[in-house]
A and B are shown apart, each in its own frame.
Chain A
Amino acid sequence: EVQLVQSGAEVKKPGESLKISCKGSGYSFTSYWIGWVRQMPGKGLEWMGIIYPGDSDTRYSPSFQGQVTISADKSISTAYLQWSSLKASDTAMYYCARRDQWLVDYWGQGTLVTVSS
Chain B
Amino acid sequence: EIVLTQSPGTLSLSPGERATLSCRASQSVSSSYLAWYQQKPGQAPRLLIYGASSRATGIPDRFSGSGSGTDFTLTISRLEPEDFAVYYCQQYGSSLMYTFGQGTKLEIK
A contact set with B: CB distance below 8 Å: 33, 35, 44-47, 50, 59, 61, 95, 99, 102-105, 107-110
Q: Are B100 and A99 in contact (CB under 8 A)?
A: no
A104 adjacent to B44 (CB under 8 Å): no
Residues of A within 8 A of B88 (CB): 44-45
- The number of chain B residues touching the other chain, given as a range, is 20 to 34
CB closest residue in chain A, given B95: A59
The residues of A that contact B95 with a CB separation of less than 8 Å are 59
B45 at the A/B interface (Cβ < 8 Å)? yes
Given known pairs A44-B88, A45-B88, A59-B95, the reply for A104 and B47 (CB within 8 Å) is yes
Q: Tell me how far the C-beta of B47 lies from the nearest C-beta in chain A, rounded to whole angstroms.
A: 6
How many pairs, one residue from A and one from B, have CB atoms within 8 Å of each other in the complex? 47
Would you give 13 A-B contacts (Cβ < 8 Å), ordered by A?
Answer: A33-B96, A35-B96, A45-B37, A45-B90, A45-B100, A47-B99, A50-B97, A59-B95, A61-B97, A99-B96, A102-B33, A104-B47, A107-B46
Which residue in chain A gives the minimum CB-CB distance to B33?
A102
Residue-wise interface mask of B (94-109) relative to A, using a CB-CB cutoff of 8 A (1 in contact, 0 not): 0111111111000000
The docked-state distance in angstroms from the alpha carbon of A109 to that of B43 is 7
Is residue B56 contacting chain A, with contact meaning CB distance below 8 A? yes
